[in-house]
Amino acid sequence: MFKHVGLRLLQLVLMLIVLSLVTFVLMKMAPGDPVLAVLKADERPVTEANQQVVRQALGLDKPLYQQYGSWLLQVARFDMGRSYTTNQDVWQLLMERLPATVSLMFSSMLALLVFAVPLGLLAAVYCGRSVDHASRMIALLGASIPSFWLGLLLIYLFSYRLNWLPMMGGGSLYHLILPSVTLGFVMAPEYIRLLRSGLLEGLSQEYIRAARARGIREWRVTAIYAMRPALLPIVSLLGVSMGALIAGSVVTETLFGWPGLGSMAMEAITQRNYPVIQGYILLTGLGIGLANWLSDVGLLLLDPKIRHEKGMSA
Amino acid sequence: MFGHNVSLLRSSGTLLAILCCIMVLTSCSGNAQLAHTNKDEEKLITIVHSLPNESLDPHNEWIALRAGITETLLRLDENMQVNPWLAVKWEAKDDLTWQFTIRDGVTFQDGTKLDAAAAKASFERGITDSKALAAALKIQHMEANGQVLTFTTTESHPAFPTELVHPTTSLISVAAEQKMGKAAFNKAPVGTGPFQVNAFISGQEISLSRFDGYWDGKAKLSKVKFLFNADANVRTMAFQSKHADIVYHLAPEALGTIGQDAELAVQSVTSLRTHYFTYNPKSASVSDLFVRKAIDKLIDRDTIVKEIMLGHAHPANGPFYSSLPFGNKGGYTKFSPEEALKLLERAGYKKNGNGKLEKNGAVLQLKLIAFSGINPELPLIPLLLQSDAAKIGMDIQILSVEYPDVYIKDHTDWDLSTSSYLTSPRGDGASFLTAAYVPGGSYNPANIHVAQLDPILKALHATGDVQTRNQLTQQAVQVINETNVNSFIIHPNILVGINQRVLNWKPGAEEFYIVSNQMDVR
């Protein structure tokens, strides 16, 4: 077990180093100059001499390998540097945004499950009937509707028309409802389809027939015995979705004025704010690695076959 | 089987019932919250702005001044003239020395007195924490004596007072920062303004409450909520639903609906931004003055204002809006394809068998660099020009790029480019002229150089007299228009929604001063 965890940690560190190197090189290849953002050249005209001074002060005149090496050494000392534009500590900046991203991630996952589990379950139980068709229609709608459009519709209905929920801002759980429902609904279709097909396959298995023959209640047969194998692909997909949500959803965050990592990263990319972009990449890389690891642990717990293959006891 | 399905449905029904209860509870609470915020006796106002802020650091962001937390030594009035604020007077002692007398009787929100020493400490902190501020102020050293603060600049800096109206020159209590620590201070800065920070959520909202010790009279409002949202449609809905009292940068398409609500009003304020075309001095085609003049006459400014901007812009006749003290008082170039054709014929172009203009066998084909930035109208203006130019046989190819300045700097294969800048953000045009017409300037990626401008800019950099500076700026604009190195298109307006319950408040073109002690609600 320790060997397994150690190996995964080593893989994660290597992945983060490669990720940061690739991002660093790509950023430097892309057009744009952070010096103009540092000097706020869109507000105040600046001279070439000003730009040169700042370029030297930030070490942007040095060769690329030196710039990357200095940054890596800095990170090894747990220092992610300072934002070019606001002079804030990057780690502190990321930690300020992380709670909003994590809370939106968990609430969106909850909304996703609230949509996907009942709809997938009903579609499988009533396969080929109107409930199944309705479920598939809802899944199709979720897959087709862009998140910004759905978000605007929800704001229009629940905030503008009915005045039930706040359309922006934060500080209470109410503020989380609309962005979570938007993200959850848009992500749900894949889960609905996976759950439906997984349940249909599970319900046709011999052991299900045996369970029914023993007189076990149908809801128990469906919701427990058939559900367990159907959940395996769902758990794998949850890892992927969690990773995507950790990276932040720029569109939803912008729409609801939600201060997550996605909108921060977008602004940093626009301004070529390299320390913030690199910090963001490291943090989200770590988050995605962690989400995948959690997903693997979930699969281990759910599936005895995997435990057996990995030589772990049940 | 059916019976089991019924029980499943029952479970689903229970789930639905729980969800409905949650929704009902949610709705009750939401309504209660809204009603609470609208109580007149609380005197609370909600403002929504489009630009989210990571921090409230007054020396790196504008928001502390906008939110009425901090103030500057000098400020702009409605006519963009520089006026006293925390400084009661100022004078240039010589080319390098400026002396400011700080207002007496002003205290920061932590109770410390504002004197020259406190102001000096604030500037020192600003210069250390903001490279942009250090580059703009060019301060060599400062001396504090009672209420008199003397600045010595590294070089002659006649525009020094206008730099001191910029929000990032806000005065802060450095003593408070030392007590709180930088990180905490940047979330709740202590200034001299009428409001102090209660809470700040990065990128989302600021909660402000009245500072009772404000030197210019206690604010009429007790609380202000300052929200950020980058989506114009959501901001507009917040205004229409009356969740917000003042909303910046409304979606123009919603103005018709807003106009039907008697409780809502919209102010369309001319901004200090100018959209214009820059001509490539290295292009064989547009280096001919007649060609540039012809393109200028092909820009249908009236249609751009009416159709693209829905009336919320003004045609431009120079880089600065005509009502500014240094703006060009003449008219703007009217759309005239006939005159454009005549100018092109004078340049040697004739229509060929395909109706295309050509000279020495080469068809007149231009490459226009376009970008969208944050202004949705910017990509539409080149399309209109392209269409009008095609009607007289001029072929314009449009290339959209993310960073036009970078493209222009790295390429020579272009003829004209869309540009958009704040040309006079601090009541003075000199900084724009220097940045846009001196090679190496940050607004001059094409390295445009107009020799006739050199003596004017030299004189402009040598005088601090406002009248003379305005006259010189106007002369410079005249030269720019004669040489047609740019074609100025429009000055876009800022659309601000104001609920009629808001009193004593109107938006300014500079967008510096939003929350004030005078603003009130019915």
Q: Which of residues 13-42 of B touch A (CB under 8 A)?
A: 15, 19, 23, 26-27, 29-31, 33-34
Contacts of B14 in chain A (CB under 8 A): none
- CB-based contact B27 A259, cutoff 8 Å: no
Residues of chain B with pLDDT under 70: 1-41, 373-374
Q: Is A28 domain-assigned?
A: yes
Pairing verdict, β B246-248 and B486-499: antiparallel
Instruction: State the Cα–Cα distance between residues A25 and B283, nearest whole angstrom.
Output: 33
Nearest residue to A312 via CA among A299, A294, A300: A300
Residues of chain A with pLDDT under 70: 1, 310-314
Strand partners for B277:
B418, B487
User: What's at B338, amino acid-wise?
Assistant: E
Is the same domain home to A68 and A102?
Answer: no
Which of A60, A167, A256 has the highest number of chain B CBs within 10 A, making it the mutation to test binding with B? A167
- CB-based contact B54 A88, cutoff 8 Å: yes
The tally of domains found in chain A comes to 2
Separation in Å, CA of A53 to nearest CA in chain B? 9
State the complex-level ipTM.
0.81
Question: Quick check: B181 contacting A, CB < 8 Å?
Answer: no
CATH code, domain carrying A247:
1.10.3720.10
Q: Supply the pLDDT for residue A1.
A: 62
Q: Supply the pLDDT for residue B70.
A: 98
Structure tokens, B253: 């398409």
Contacts of B205 in chain A (CB under 8 A): 169-171, 257
- CB-based contact B201 A171, cutoff 8 Å: yes
Q: Is A168 domain-assigned?
A: yes
Q: Is A82 domain-assigned?
A: no
Is the same domain home to A56 and A198?
Answer: no
Q: Is A87 domain-assigned?
A: no
Give the nearest chain B residue to A83 (CA atoms): B54
Q: Is A241 domain-assigned?
A: yes
Considering only the beta carbons, identify the residue of A45, A57, A87 that sits closest to B60: A87
Is the same domain home to A302 and A190?
Answer: yes
* CATH among 3.40.190.10, 2.60.120.10, 1.10.10.10, 3.40.50.1470 for B74-176: 3.40.190.10
What's the sign of the alpha-carbon dihedral B339, B344, B348, B350?
Answer: negative
Q: Supply the pLDDT for residue B11.
A: 47
Enumerate the domain spans of chain B: 17-68+182-269+495-521, 74-176, 273-491
Which of B33, B37, B54, B227 has the highest number of chain A CBs within 10 A, making it the mutation to test binding with A? B54
Q: Is A81 domain-assigned?
A: no
- CB-based contact B238 A89, cutoff 8 Å: no
Q: Supply the pLDDT for residue A280.
A: 93
Nearest residue to A154 via CA among B30, B237, B29: B237
Considering only the beta carbons, identify the residue of B12, B204, B435 that sits closest to A45: B435
Domain boundary, last residue among A42, A76, A110: A76
Q: Supply the pLDDT for residue B300.
A: 97
Contacts of A88 in chain B (CB under 8 A): 54-55, 57, 183, 186
Q: Is A113 domain-assigned?
A: yes
- CB-based contact A256 B234, cutoff 8 Å: yes
Q: Supply the pLDDT for residue B10.
A: 46
Q: Supply the pLDDT for residue B30.
A: 40
Q: Supply the pLDDT for residue B21.
A: 46
DSSP codes, A30-78: SS--HHHHHTTTTTS---HHHHHHHHHHTTTTS-HHHHHHHHHHHHHTT
- CB-based contact B203 A168, cutoff 8 Å: no
For residue B215, what is the DSSP state?
T
Q: Supply the pLDDT for residue B159.
A: 86
Is the same domain home to A189 and A117?
Answer: yes
Q: Supply the pLDDT for residue B198.
A: 96
Q: Are B66 and A214 in contact (CB under 8 A)?
A: no
Instruction: State the Cα–Cα distance between residues B63 and A102, nearest whole angstrom.
Output: 27
Is the same domain home to A57 and A117?
Answer: no
B273-491 is a CATH 3.40.50.300 domain: no
Contacts of B405 in chain A (CB under 8 A): 36
Query: How much of chain B exceeds pLDDT 70, in percent?
Result: 92
Is the same domain home to A231 and A279?
Answer: yes
Q: Which of residues 82-121 of B touch A (CB under 8 A)?
A: none
Give the nearest chain A residue to B131 (CA atoms): A39
What is the span of the domain harbouring residue A227? 94-309
Angle at which helices A174-203 and A147-154 cross, to 10°: 120
Separation in Å, CA of A39 to nearest CA in chain B? 4
Q: Do domains B17-68+182-269+495-521 and B74-176 have the same CATH topology?
A: yes
Strand partners for B420:
B275
Is the same domain home to A69 and A198?
Answer: no
For residue B335, what is the DSSP state?
P
Is the same domain home to A32 and A129?
Answer: no
Instruction: State the Cα–Cα distance between residues A285 and A247, nearest whole angstrom.
Output: 8
Beta strand residue intervals within B146-293, DSSP E:
148-153, 195-201, 205-210, 223-228, 246-248, 264-270, 273-279
Give the nearest chain B residue to A55 (CA atoms): B131
Is the same domain home to A17 and A115?
Answer: no
Q: Supply the pLDDT for residue B374.
A: 65
Q: Is A264 domain-assigned?
A: yes
What CATH number belongs to B17-68+182-269+495-521?
A: 3.40.190.10
Is the same domain home to A155 and A239?
Answer: yes
Is the same domain home to A157 and A234?
Answer: yes
Is the same domain home to A46 and A151?
Answer: no
Separation in Å, CA of B202 to nearest CA in chain A? 7
Q: Supply the pLDDT for residue B442.
A: 79
